[in-house]
Amino acid sequence: MYRLSKLRFGFPVFLFLALFLDGAVSQVFNVQMFRYPTAMVSHLVVLWLVCGAIFEADNGDFPMPLARWAAVAGAVFDLYYTGIFGIYVFIFPLVIYVTRRLVSWINPNFLSGLLIYFIDITLVEGLGYVASRAVHLNNAAGSAFLVNTLGPTLALNLAMFVILYFPIRWVYNWLK
């Protein structure tokens, strides 16, 4: 039950920890992650949100307000990392919506979670690319985006999912 658990306060704490760890990972490993022409983008925030949506499937009558937390995290992400307000404020709640719809169709486990996370990272990066193209922040061709950004980003984030899925599940169960 969400209202009576430590999850009520622990989820936002770990969400904002993931938000700042995204920046820390990018800063510490910038030589490996951002080597021209490729770029790998860490999405620990999306990982935490997606895992929250996957693990809340058995939460019962009181689901977590994930969409609200996603919008708040998107606002902080926009202001802190991109400098343009509004892109991730809408993308992160959309990811929660898509994840909840997929979880209602697919029985959530490790492999289906990996598939859902693959779809969500593709959605986040693709919509971010389209939005940055729309406001003329990015002039890369679509094929260059697919090869130089989306592919490496998917590889990095799927590897992080494989490594962090069970520790996140343990933290989530501990907070419940």
Kindly provide the b/e burial profile for residues 57-79, where b requires at least 16 CB atoms within 10 angstroms of the residue's own CB: eeeeeeebebbebbbbbbebbbe
**What digits encode the pLDDT tens for the residues 64-120?**
888 999 999 999 988 888 777 888 999 999 999 999 999 989 988 899 999 999 999
Task: Calculate the alpha carbon distances from 118 to 62, 68, 122, 150 in Å.
Answer: 27, 22, 6, 11
How confident is residue 1, by pLDDT bands cut at 50, 70 and 90?
very low
For residue range 24-80, what is the model confidence (pLDDT) as tens digits? Answer: 998 899 888 888 888 999 999 999 999 999 988 665 555 788 899 999 999 998 888
